[in-house]
Structure 1
């Protein structure tokens, strides 16, 4: 799979941050072993992860003032041909300065001494569920729009990854897919078999290394059996459930997959309840279960990164708890490396 994604209990994080100070957000992102460019929706609605993914997508109706993102099939029909004429133009698929205050600053830095760097984009399933058309239907149900959307988002990821790889050969991408947990509810109306086919098609168009990040609780068998190089999850919340999927986790690790263990909570109240000992204990409890079920300890440690559990935009102390959580991630990873890596 992708041996160039580092493991060894180094640190990274998901990209959505509560900051309105652009330089400070970048400084905090760079404090981790595997840095990324932050997404700052509190700074601008352009930085909302769905809005960022929607840049140049035909048919999008964006109202920055009202903070709404919609879709019009008539506008899609009008704009599609012109979009297709530009399908070989990387600038169509990259993130512009308008849509990210940080991305281009991140690209201007020297990351050559880092073990890796990371980018991200909202995934097609979540984007398709979240963006609503003129009939109040998610565009994922539109058989004309959906195949185009899969190809468009794959190109967006590939263009960003190519830019990041110019700065660091070990660059990789998170495809953020919070919507995956809804696939398995009766309400979704877009079943897991359809999604599996679409995601297989999508990832066949996405350059390696690539992976999925989500904070929810999907069908882990489904996710671990996709052709991914890295899986980033909230193990703080989903510890017991995830630990019960040892067979699929073992197979994923044996294919050289990397797991990003999101263990440090970023919510104000939850973070207050924990200390370093309790968080390490929570993570090690999951690990011990997996080791007892035949997962190779050294192999797993070699293929593990440590991160915060989730993003958080709504803390009463704004960015302070999130910054403390990033610090705790670094401290925890250092302690775990002392314990498990000779």
Structure 2
């Protein structure tokens, strides 16, 4: 479906000028995506951004806190009773200035592919606490409400992006996957984690979009592969050696048409010491590692290039270097491998 080495990005940018950010994205990536602006507002952070309209969730923007207040279950009951499989839950411009600006800037242009994103149900429910400081993941009913709400927001988001593109990709952003199995999350059941990921991925596909999962560190990759996502986005700069352990599962994933999104350009201060040539060498080493146990033809034909993670923690100059370097690297890799 995708031309090898096509480029896209992960959500966050350091900008506060939404039009400038969207213009930069349009000029930098093969698959444009709407940006998140964590420096613009607390509401643009991963959990607050998709919290709007979910019962029991409270936000204090002045104190920059978000929590679940369990004292008012009536709203949760009403939500569950009225929920249907076609229910949509919008995100307003106060929570996603980048999305609304993106839609305005791109108006009148019809794209082959656009990309959006949603905070994953595991990251959302494990990162959000109740008024006793306990992650709401461990409350079965609230966990289900969050899953249903995120699915409703996916349906709404796909509707918005579909007006501008033939195909829409939605990445499920799940940074917490790297921490599952550690002492902090021993109570997270693997089967339940997989159910949450699969239902989220299915919601994307049922809405008419292509599902992807982004994890910016090591992970239980079998869990990610079995989620049903068609694209797996990983940090190929720092963590490529975590993949060969799952080579059999990844090979099956590729043979069934899945794509690997290589986050090969770092979004840490390491970018200041890298350029397209040095990253080409790093890519070659990574490819050598993977081709020992995975088919090189599939790795090189079903490949997307991205930054390693969001660029929101960088300076604008560093972020723009990431994007420029990614484009230069793509040209080198296309010449070398196609």
Does the TM-score normalized on the shorter chain lie above 0.5? yes
Tell me: CA distance 1:102–1:293, structure 2 relative to 1, closer, same or farther (3 Å). Answer: same
Q: Quick one: distance in 2 between partners of 1:300 and 1:336?
A: 13
Task: Identify the residue that residue 260 of structure 1 maps to in structure 2.
Answer: 261
Kindly tell me: are residues 99 and 257 of structure 1, through their superposed partners in 2, closer, same or farther at Cα, counting changes over 3 Å?
A: same
Q: Secondary structure at the match of 1:146?
A: helix
Aligned equivalents of 2:204, 2:323: Cα separation in 1: 29
Query: In structure 2, do the counterparts of structure 1 residues 168 and 53 end up closer, same or farther at CA, with 3 Å as the change threshold?
Result: same
Shift of the 100–303 alpha-carbon distance from structure 1 to 2, 3 Å rule, reads: same
Distance 1:65 1:179, change over 3 A: same
Following superposition, the deviation at residue 201 of structure 1 comes to 3.6
> In the comparison of the two structures, how many residue pairs are matched?
332
Q: Deviations over 1:90-110 (max 9, x none)?
A: 895122111111212222324
TM-score (norm 2): 0.91
Q: 3-state SS of the aligned residue for 1:228?
A: coil
Give the conservation status (yes or no) of the 8 Å contact 1:184–1:191.
Answer: no
Range moving further from structure 2, 275-284 or 248-257: 275-284
Which one of 62, 66, 69 corresponds to residue 65 of structure 1? Answer: 62
Matches within 5 A, 1:29-40: 29-30=25-26, 31-40=28-37
Aligned with 2:238: secondary structure?
helix
Contact 1:86 1:92 in 2 (8 A): no
- Runs of 5+ unmatched residues, structure 1: none
Counterparts of 1:91 and 1:319, CA distance in 2: 38
More moved, 85-94 vs 224-233? 85-94
- How big is each residue's C-alpha offset from its partner over 1:15-44, in whole Å with a ceiling of 9 and x where there is no partner? 111111212211122121000010001011
In structure 2, C-alpha distance between the alignment counterparts of 1:196 and 1:64, rounded to whole Å: 32
1:117 and 2:114 are equivalent in the alignment: yes
**Distance of aligned partners of 1:312 and 1:168 in 2 relative to their CA distance in 1, 3 Å threshold:** closer
- From 161, 164, 184, the counterpart of 1:164: 161
- After TM superposition, the score normalised by the length of structure 1 is 0.90
Q: Look up the SS of the partner of 2:33 in the other structure.
A: coil
| CA distance in structure 1 between the partners assigned to 2:154 and 2:98 by the alignment | 17
CA contact (8 A) 1:45 1:51 kept: yes
Residue in 1 that maps onto 2:15: 19
1:144 paired with 2:141, answer: yes
Deviations 1:58-84 (A, max 9, x none): 011101111111111123x13224445
Which stretch of the first structure deviates more once superposed, 125-134 or 243-252? 243-252
Structure 2 CA distance, aligned partners of 1:99 and 1:92?
Answer: 16
Cα deviation for residue 11 of structure 1 reads 0.7
**Cα distance 1:335–1:127, how it changes in 2: closer, same or farther (>3 A)?**
same
Is 1:274 aligned to 2:274, yes or no? Answer: yes
Change (3 A) 1:69 1:277: same
Correspondence 1:1-342 to 2 at 5 A: 3=1, 6-30=2-26, 31-75=28-72, 77-84=73-80, 87=83, 93-108=89-104, 109-110=106-107, 113-188=110-185, 189-207=187-205, 208-268=209-269, 270-297=270-297, 299-315=298-314, 318-341=315-338
**Shift in Å at residue 294 of structure 1?**
4.1
How far did residue 155 of structure 1 move? 1.8
Give the CA deviation at 1:265.
Answer: 1.0
CA distance in 2, matches of 1:72, 1:310: 32
Q: 1:122 to 1:111 in 2, by over 3 A?
A: farther
Q: How much does 1:164 deviate? A: 1.3
